[in-house]
Each structure stands twice: as structure tokens, then as C-alpha cells.
Amino acid sequence: MIGIIDYGLGNIKAISNIYDKLKIKNIIIRSKEDFEKISSMILPGVGSFDSAINLLIKSKYLELIKINVHEKKKNILGICVGMQIFSHKSSEGNSSGLNWFDADVKKINLQNDSKKMRLPHMGWNSINFLKNDHLLRDIKDGEYFYFCHSYYFSCNNKKDIISETKFSQKFPSIIKKDNIYGIQFHPEKSHDNGVKILENFSKL
């Protein structure tokens, strides 16, 4: 059973609808008791780093998430800001992250492309594989996904990066450390490729 954590951010229903169409059992987590029913979980995210952390703390799910990830070893997939809060901190705000990766979140540097590009990085872009992973099963290197962000996950340990994407600069688009996965793009907006990512996650 996939648990989609409802803490006030993200396209919760869109993700649940995809799993319903795939006939994969899922539940939107809206109580502490729901954590007992799941085998893995998804942490969606839209908006700012500080807002995500503060809402997660306010939801009172944070300790349960940590127990399920670190003690019960259940898989978790962070989406967009839901991934970014796995880091130490963000230049976007002042809150501390979860410290699950040796990483910080930084603003995308448009460098010499400022006249041609604008933030946020919004729309379709490709991902380039750095290593194979079951999350990428039946997805080809260079396939396109939908992004919407101005900050990126600056990962100090390159072994944690599964794929990269380029928007003026290269940044991690998929990360993994043990049972913790993160994706910068939005699978619920990425058509067939996004559906496949969510399906693959359910089978890990």
C-alpha cells in the first residue's frame, strides 16, 4: 500500500488518481494511524522550503515519517520541495532540513543565459542517467519530464545522484540514498513517463 502524505502541500489527489488508474492500492495519509497501513510513502511538495518544513512539523507526522524510513526501512519518494527538504538547508529560507543527504538547496544560477532564460525553470526538460536504478525501469535516457522550480538540490556526494538535468547549469533530477528517493520534477504532470516513475516506485 502506497501512502501519500497530506501535510498541506502538493498535488495529492492527482498522484492518488494515477495509482487508482493503475489499480495500485494507495491511501492519502491524514492521520497517524494511516502510517500503520502502508508499505512505502510519497512526500509531495509545492512551494517554499520553509513552508514545507513548517507544515510538516505542524502536521505532527515528522517523527512517524522518520520511524518508518529509518527504523522500519520503508521506501519514501520526495517530490520537488518534498525532495529538497531532505537536505541540510536552503538558501531560500532559514529552516533546517531533515539532513538525510549531504546536500544544500541553492538558487539556480542562470550565469550567462539570463537574457534567454527566466526563473522558475518551468516546463519540459530531459533527464540524463548517471546510473541505473529500478525507479527508471522502462524509461529511456534523455526522456522528458515536467519541472517547476527556482532552487536545486546541490548534492556533495555524487554517488547519491541517479540522473541530472540541465537548465543553464546541471543539477540532480533524481537522487537516492538507501530507501530514500527524491525527484525534482513532477510525475503527476509528466504524462506517461511520470506514471511509469510512480508505478516503478510502487514495485521497489
The residues carrying an active-site annotation are 80, 186, 188
Q: How far is CA 184 from CA 72, 85, 125, 150, in A?
A: 25, 11, 11, 11
Question: Which segments of the chain are extended strands (E)?
Answer: 2-5, 26-29, 40-43, 75-79, 103-107, 121-126, 128-129, 144-149, 151-155, 161-167, 169-177, 180-183
User: Which H/E stretch holds residue 44?
Assistant: none
Q: CB burial class (10 A; 0-12, 13-18, 19+) of residue 126?
A: middle
